Amino acid sequence: MGKGIGYGKVILFNEHFVVYGVPSIVSAIDKATTATVERADGTGWTLDDRRHATPGYKEEKLEQQKESVERILKAAGIDTMKNPIKITLAGDLVAASGIGASAASCTAIARALSDEFNLGLSDERINELAYEGEKGYHGTPSGIDNTAATYGGLIWFVRGQPNMMERIKIKRPVEVVVGNTGLVANTKAAVAGVRERREKYPEKYNKIFKEAEELAHKARRALEAYDIKKVGELMDENHKQLQAIEVSCRELDFLVELARKQGAFGAKMTGGGLGGNMVALTPGKELQEKVACAIEGEGFEALRTKIGV
């Protein structure tokens, strides 16, 4: 049996902007999806998805998941008509929008295939396969999610030819809370919406994109200096920019406000938006617990994790 793992992630700065080559910052989290690949009878492949999920997520993503698996198999050069397999997904990462669930599963599947078929794939190649798989979900992903899912850690990511990835080192990991709106979001549609509006209102969008780029540099400096207060302020600012490009929603704004009121150093939506998850910067176990409990008290799921692990 072949086995593989892919990490979940939170984008700390510049989701959406990253699609256009604006620098972004992403952190893997300590939750992951695992995959196994076993030889099976018959022909083709089957998938047993045992991940804990936001209600409706798996159903909504089923067709995209099929396309994604087909893409990974093709890129890996595996013909399941000759070599039938059963894929099983599990792990402690909730299958939800905004925390890199699709990318984590793609990376995990790529690794499990490499293991089962003795392909000996490097991380670089696993990342490429996971990117192929991500296209099934996103259409034109920037590559940020699969990069975090494959390599882990805290990453400065710039989309380009080729993509640029640098590790950001921080003194100690910082506690965060990831709050789930419970809404299954369609990243493809969110990305397409930004593209449309960017073409329609070039002046407005160019200005916001420029500000987002400056903000990423400030955020990197603040993280490296371990100025957590500043990092939080910049997350708040980034949330405003994301609101301005219309990818937030009422539920995300509500959770962001709630976290700030409870003392979070900063909070913002994370990932594709229009539902999915938000992230609050809550250094120390006590503050983390306070913010997580407040979110749960309002009937939402909260994940306690860390960035920079």
Binding site for ligand MEV (CB under 6 A): 11, 15-16, 18-19, 138, 141-142, 144-145, 187, 191, 271-272
By residue count, the chain amounts to 309
CB of residue 240 to ligand MEV, shortest distance in Å: 17
CB of residue 135 to ligand MEV, shortest distance in Å: 10
Shorter beta-carbon distance to ligand MEV: residue 20 or 117: 20
CB of residue 195 to ligand MEV, shortest distance in Å: 11
Which run of H or E residues covers position 3? strand 2-13
Give the CB-nearest residue to ligand MEV: 142
Q: Degrees (nearest 5) of the Cα angle 290, 296, 302? A: 80
> Is the omega angle on the peptide bond into residue 162 within 30 degrees of 0, that is, cis?
yes
CB of residue 205 to ligand MEV, shortest distance in Å: 15
Strand pairing of 85-91 and 174-180? Answer: unpaired
Shorter beta-carbon distance to ligand MEV: residue 142 or 282: 142
261 phi, psi to nearest 5 deg:
-60, -30
Shorter beta-carbon distance to ligand MEV: residue 145 or 237: 145
CB of residue 22 to ligand MEV, shortest distance in Å: 10
d(CA 275, CA 100): 14
Q: 58 and 89 in contact (C-beta within 8 Å)?
A: no
Shorter beta-carbon distance to ligand MEV: residue 16 or 220: 16
CB of residue 276 to ligand MEV, shortest distance in Å: 8
Shorter beta-carbon distance to ligand MEV: residue 21 or 173: 21
Which run of H or E residues covers position 28? strand 24-39
Tokens coding 239: 């949330």
135 phi, psi to nearest 5 deg:
-60, -30
> Residue 248: which residues within 8 A CB-CB, separation 6 or more?
239, 242, 256, 269, 273, 274
d(CA 271, CA 152): 16
Shorter beta-carbon distance to ligand MEV: residue 15 or 115: 15
